[in-house]
Chain A
Amino acid sequence: MNSYALIPEWVSISTLAMLALAILLAMFRLMKGPTLPDRIVALDLIAALCMCFAIAYAISSSEVRYLDIAAIVALVAFIGTVAYATYLKKKYL
């Protein structure tokens, strides 16, 4: 899988599996979340975990282009969170 011998294969595979599990747990919180702020935080967490997944996959497949995905998601994802926060502030204040 990886051409560099720096990281053993089982490390990258288990990292990806744990990140996928974390995304599933965040999805569970997104569906179940009792209040709206819980769901918004869960969405933000999913965006951060997708970023981590892209970085981990870039390392495990030694493909540089996935790092750009992580940079772009990092730059754009929090705008959605800010928009949700603005909506909440308008609704409750």
Chain B
Amino acid sequence: MKSYIIQLAASRLLPVTLILSLLVFYRGHNEPGGGFIGGLMASAGFIFYAMAFDTQEARKKLKINPLTLMVLGLVTAVTSTIPALFAGNPFFTGEWISINLAFAGTLKLGTPLLFDLGVYLTVWGIMLMIIFNIMEE
């Protein structure tokens, strides 16, 4: 399908989708959102890009193999369990640190955020892998 309007829309909408998915991902701990829905949105942008152009073009735009993305996400999710062991707490305990920024308040970082990042990358990679393989058949 080579429609110029859809191609233009896809190339303009891809960054918007990624930014909105990162927003949904970041506020996911206390408000609606989270890693899973963020990963789905990020993959929706690339799926639309692949529908407008081609799957090869979308793979070139992604620059990284979806399988690599998935493995990276799983490794990140496993890494998030390790700091609890060093702190002497049970496995998978959420550990939080607060960074005091001078003007923008405090930034709370913790292992749940890292785990959510792993979910985000895994969902992104596996959705793109499934959809690209189906579209290339």
Mutual binders A and B: yes
A86 to B134, CA, bound (A): 14
Residues of B within 8 A of A68 (CB): 24, 32
Secondary structure at the B interface, as helix, strand, loop or mixed, is helix
A79 to B32, CA, bound (A): 22
* Interface: A25 (CB within 8 A): no
Contact A82 B6 (CB under 8 A): yes
Residues of A within 8 A of B41 (CB): 72, 75-76
Least CB distance, A92 to chain B, in whole angstroms = 13
* Interface: A71 (CB within 8 A): yes
Tally B residues with Cβ within 8 Å of A: 14
Q: Contact partner of B1 among A71, A72, A76, A89, CB < 8 A?
A: A89
8 A-B pairs closest in CB distance: A79-B48, A76-B44, A86-B1, A79-B44, A82-B51, A86-B51, A65-B32, A75-B17
- By a beta-carbon cutoff of 8 Å, the part of chain A in contact with chain B is 65, 68-69, 71-72, 75-76, 79, 82-83, 86, 89
- Besides A75-B20, A79-B48, A82-B6, 13 other A-B contacts (C-beta < 8 A): A65-B31, A68-B24, A72-B24, A72-B41, A75-B13, A75-B17, A75-B44, A79-B44, A79-B47, A82-B48, A82-B51, A83-B51, A86-B1
